[in-house]
Amino acid sequence: MSKYAGQLRLGDNCGLDYNSQNPLVIQALVGLNAYDVMYKAGCLKGSGGAYCFADAITNVTAVSDSYPYYLPLGLNLPSGELPSCSSCVQQTMQIFASNAIGQLLTKTYASAAQQINNQCGSNWIPSKAKLSLASTYAGASMLQLILLSLIICWVLG
């Protein structure tokens, strides 16, 4: 998907709209750049064999468990929201920490990790993500998350 993200910015494609910061092009670019890390996190399974992402977005008792999945899209963990100290949250955040290079995660991970570590233990997850030059995009929309989820489902068959 990073190949497509690069092509999106070309003049023959959406380069003009990208340079003008067209919100739809920026959202598409954020989604393409976040695809790999979201795919890795989306394929995690919990101890019961169910997909962690599916459990998180359908869990009505621990609604906050879905919030870490917004981090790769440039959205911060809402203040005061505390995901559970489940192995799924821990594994997801570990994936995000080790795959944040060049992602919006470099901007959203640290504060989320601090909130979660305050709840679950000071070193429960890595406190910092691998840093590099972070992309500067506007935050992603719920539509973008849905589209990204549909792409993942389509690829998985």
Sequence-distant (6+) residues with CB within 8 A of 78 are 67
pLDDT value, residue 41 = 92
pLDDT value, residue 134 = 37
Q: How many CB atoms lie within 10 A of CB 117?
A: 17
Q: Count CA atoms closer than 13 A to 52's CA, side-chain side.
A: 27
- Identify how many contiguous H helices and E strands the chain contains and give both numbers: 7, 0
Tell me the mean pLDDT in the region 133-152: 48
**Residue 17, domain extent:** 2-156
Using one digit for the tens of pLDDT, what is the confidence trace for 63-113? 899 999 999 988 999 988 889 999 999 999 999 998 877 678 888 999 999
Name the average pLDDT for the chain.
Answer: 81
Q: What is the percentage of the chain residues whose pLDDT exceeds 90?
A: 35
- Its pTM stands at 0.74
Q: From the centroid of its chain, how far is CA 110? A: 13
- Distance, in Å, from the CA atom of 12 to the CA atom of 68, rounded to the nearest integer, reads 35
Using one digit for the tens of pLDDT, what is the confidence trace for 38-64? 999 999 999 889 999 999 999 888 889
- Give the residue among 65, 50, 66, 40 at the shortest CA–CA distance from 142: 66
How many domains are contained in the chain?
1
Report residue 122 as tokens. 């000071």
**Cα dihedral sign for 94, 103, 32, 27?**
positive
Tell me the mean pLDDT in the region 112-135: 78
pLDDT value, residue 124 = 93
The larger pLDDT score, comparing residue 143 to residue 67, is at: 67
- Distance, in Å, from the CA atom of 65 to the CA atom of 58, rounded to the nearest integer, reads 10
